[in-house]
Structure 1
Amino acid sequence: MIANAAPFDTELTRVLGCRYPILSAGMGGPARAELASAVSNAGGFGLLGMVRESPETIASEVAAVCAATDRPFGVNLIPARTKPELLAAELDACLELRVPAMCFFWDVVPDIVARVKDSGALVLYQVGSLEDALRAEKAGADVIIAQGVEAGGHVRGSTGIMTLLPEIAAHLRVPVAASGGIATGAGLVAALALGASGIHCGTVFLTTHESYAHDYHKQRVIDARAGDTVHTDIYAINWPAGSPVRVLANSVTDAASAHLFGNDPYALPREVIAHDEWGPVDKYSTISPLRSTTGDLEKMALFAGESSALVNERMSAGEVVERLMREADETLDALLARRVKNADIGGGS
């Protein structure tokens, strides 16, 4: 437990019912029950990544989380990426299971927000612009996640978090979590200073022991340095056109350097390069390598945010939460000490 928890008791922690203002991203594939429950048990708020999953899988994963923790968690779905029939079945499953919270991403769909709110669950909405933030709040979202362009995986907006976050926070009444480029406790403090009530992290949790990501993917993130990620829509199969991602540079992004954007998922050639538990994986697919994946992993979508440069070792999800909070506390202490020192210097002049 951190020595000084008071600054981290925020509107976000009060709304979500968690101890610390840290959300783990609902990464499709890596964010399964093992990761979500570990984050919630550590005092954060874990999100299950259940995009395109069957109602049966959702039921199984939710049951596994509930068996591992009695603390709050949520389920992440992406309406824009899910066929209407499957989305309806996913929502039915989550509401029947009385999932405490639902997190949505990409287009804002007010009808879905209303349905979830009517069921009594909380709604979190990840957005990439002030316009979408206002739409989500108007629809009834309880928490807005402001995603900067630094974020890994699918990236909704085009603005850096240092600009996007204060713009959104200044216009909203509901708590805002900052997402993109954050992997340290100092980043948490900076987000709070810019108007956030907490942070939403993917990359730093992707490398944890509990993440279902493949070890190759985890190691590539750990080995990454500043500038090693690429913003592109070359990984387009399985998503609508014009859906950019941030991935680690590899042979695919190197070969596509002249056409990183404007790629049509229906025009890209189909070439099977790997297999996972769902079947074959095409070269330009948005599927990332998981524990069960075999094949040419180097060519797959190695999702990672710019914060990968700050992730240098593997640890448990609980250790990540503990480190973030310890660093945040130390950052506040250092800032206070600097302020006192400057005041003493000024007073003696």
Structure 2
Amino acid sequence: MTAGLRTPLCDLLGCDVPILQAGMGGPARHELAGAVAQAGGFGMLGMVRESADLIEQEIRALRALTDRPFAVNLIPAATDPALLKAEMDVALSLKVAAFTFFWDPIPREIARAKAAGALVLHQVGSLEAARLAEAAGADVLIAQGVGAGGHIHGTIGALVLTELIAREAKVPVVASGGFATGASLVAALALGAQAIQCGTAFLATQESYAHEYHKHRVVAASAEDTVFTDAYVLNWPKGAPVRVLRNSIIQALGHNLTGHDPADLSHEVIASEDGRPLLRYSTDSPLRTTEGDLEAMALYAGESASFVDAVPSASETIGRIMAEAEAALVRVKQFGKSGA
């Protein structure tokens, strides 16, 4: 690997390459996080609002795959306090080395994780949220642009947001939301970030726990096929937008993509997962064990879907991004020589 592509954040997190795998709730289980970590990236378990038992099971299964560091992704601001306590209790009892938090920074949870010796990575969608997270003690800031798939907590693009935060932050910054190639990794480093975080690129991998239907919809999609909407909001607070692939639900909304109140949305059951009913307009995405009307579910994908054209292994995805990054650096140097 080109020496210029290894950053201080790699040393902090214990990874070999500056590529983080987003903690996608559902798809990011031990197979994916373990494969990313073993390939030299930084893996995350997406354990948002999962039971303590499942979190323990996933942590132990991941550690059976690799001894590399990883993070557990939780969302304190959108989780019932009792459940959050149980999630944190089990993760800390198993001495997890890092947590990734998202949504509004909750200082007491950041402080609790750090008091136990864990690193805290906090994903933010604005400069103000970055300031609050850093002031609360976050060790790393993940700047999530509006082009990201899944839940989005900001309104501006990743290029501008990343540079804004990197200019001011005293801690390492990671760029997220539209990053799935080596060229985008080089661009992120040029903006002041020390790594990229990829969600869509890792959702469509062999180890992802996403349903094959979801993976192949991502492969077939382009950036123009993704939509910013708050229609898929059941199970989340009002006004929590997501980026998903266009489907029959989105088509039926016409231009009314935002402004939806969970109280006014249909609670019709359209699918099930291990016997659990899944509702139309819920935030659940189709996983390996999901059955029912998959087409109508939240098919999360970011604008970087344009660069996903297959379902490789996580290791192959990391290898591709790093090879592309080295090629991008060569191009930049050639441009410099030609202009000399």
With normalisation by structure 2, the TM-score equals: 0.99
Task: Work out the CA distance in 2 between the residues paired with 1:278 and 1:36.
Answer: 25
- 5 Å-filtered alignment, 1:150-169, equals 150-169=147-166
Instruction: Verify: 1:177 aligned to 2:174, yes or no.
Output: yes
Instruction: Verify: 1:294 aligned to 2:291, yes or no.
Output: yes
Tell me the CA shift for residue 278 of structure 1.
5.5
Tell me the CA shift for residue 342 of structure 1.
2.3
**Which of 316, 328, 334 lines up with 1:331 in the alignment?**
328
Q: Percent identity?
A: 58
Q: 1:60 corresponds to which residue? A: 57
Q: 1:70 corresponds to which residue? A: 67
The structure with the larger Rg is 1
Could you give the per-residue CA deviations for residues 28-77 of structure 1, whole angstroms, max 9, x where no partner exists?
Answer: 00000000010000000000000111111111100011111111100000
Task: Work out the CA distance in 2 between the residues paired with 1:34 and 1:21.
Answer: 20
**Which of 203, 209, 217 lines up with 1:206 in the alignment?**
203
Can you give the 5+ residue segments of structure 2 that lack an aligned partner in the other structure?
Answer: none
Q: 2:243 corresponds to which residue? A: 246
Task: Work out the CA distance in 2 between the residues paired with 1:92 and 1:331.
Answer: 44
Q: 2:317 corresponds to which residue? A: 320
Task: Work out the CA distance in 2 between the residues paired with 1:198 and 1:247.
Answer: 24
Tell me the CA shift for residue 270 of structure 1.
0.9
2:336 partner amino acid: R
Q: 1:143 corresponds to which residue? A: 140
Instruction: Verify: 1:285 aligned to 2:315, yes or no.
Output: no
Task: Work out the CA distance in 2 between the residues paired with 1:235 and 1:278.
Answer: 21
Q: Secondary structure at the match of 1:262?
A: coil
Q: Secondary structure at the match of 1:112?
A: helix
**Which of 28, 35, 40 lines up with 2:37 in the alignment?**
40
Task: Work out the CA distance in 1 between the residues paired with 2:227 and 2:31.
Answer: 29
Q: Secondary structure at the match of 1:237?
A: coil
Q: Secondary structure at the match of 1:230?
A: strand
2:159 partner amino acid: M
Tell me the CA shift for residue 328 of structure 1.
0.3
Could you give the per-residue CA deviations for residues 259-302 of structure 1, whole angstroms, max 9, x where no partner exists?
Answer: 21111112211111111125011110000000100111000000
Can you give the 5+ residue segments of structure 1 that lack an aligned partner in the other structure?
Answer: 344-349
Does structure 1 conserve the Cα–Cα contact (< 8 Å) formed by 2:102 and 2:123?
yes
Tell me the CA shift for residue 257 of structure 1.
2.1
Does structure 1 conserve the Cα–Cα contact (< 8 Å) formed by 2:223 and 2:302?
no
Q: 2:116 corresponds to which residue? A: 119
Task: Work out the CA distance in 2 between the residues paired with 1:35 and 1:278.
Answer: 24
Q: Secondary structure at the match of 1:18?
A: coil
2:93 partner amino acid: E
Q: 1:108 corresponds to which residue? A: 105
Does structure 1 conserve the Cα–Cα contact (< 8 Å) formed by 2:147 and 2:178?
yes
Does structure 1 conserve the Cα–Cα contact (< 8 Å) formed by 2:248 and 2:296?
yes
The Cα RMSD (Å) is 0.8
Could you give the per-residue CA deviations for residues 104-155 of structure 1, whole angstroms, max 9, x where no partner exists?
Answer: 0001000000010000000000000000101111111110000000000000
Task: Work out the CA distance in 2 between the residues paired with 1:305 and 1:72.
Answer: 26
Q: Secondary structure at the match of 2:101?
A: strand
Task: Work out the CA distance in 1 between the residues paired with 2:113 and 2:173.
Answer: 19
Structure 1 residues 79 and 278, CA, compared in 2 at 3 Å: closer, same or farther?
farther
2:289 partner amino acid: S
**Which of 128, 131, 140 lines up with 1:134 in the alignment?**
131
2:294 partner amino acid: L
Task: Work out the CA distance in 1 between the residues paired with 2:199 and 2:268.
Answer: 28
Task: Work out the CA distance in 1 between the residues paired with 2:274 and 2:78.
Answer: 20
Could you give the per-residue CA deviations for residues 238-257 of structure 1, whole angstroms, max 9, x where no partner exists?
Answer: 00000000000001011112
Could you give the per-residue CA deviations for residues 134-190 of structure 1, whole angstroms, max 9, x where no partner exists?
Answer: 111111111000000000000000000111110010010100000001110000000
**Which of 85, 98, 112 lines up with 1:88 in the alignment?**
85
- Structure 1's consecutive aligned runs of 4 or more residues displaced over 3 angstroms after TM superposition are none
Does structure 1 conserve the Cα–Cα contact (< 8 Å) formed by 2:10 and 2:16?
yes
Q: Secondary structure at the match of 1:280?
A: strand
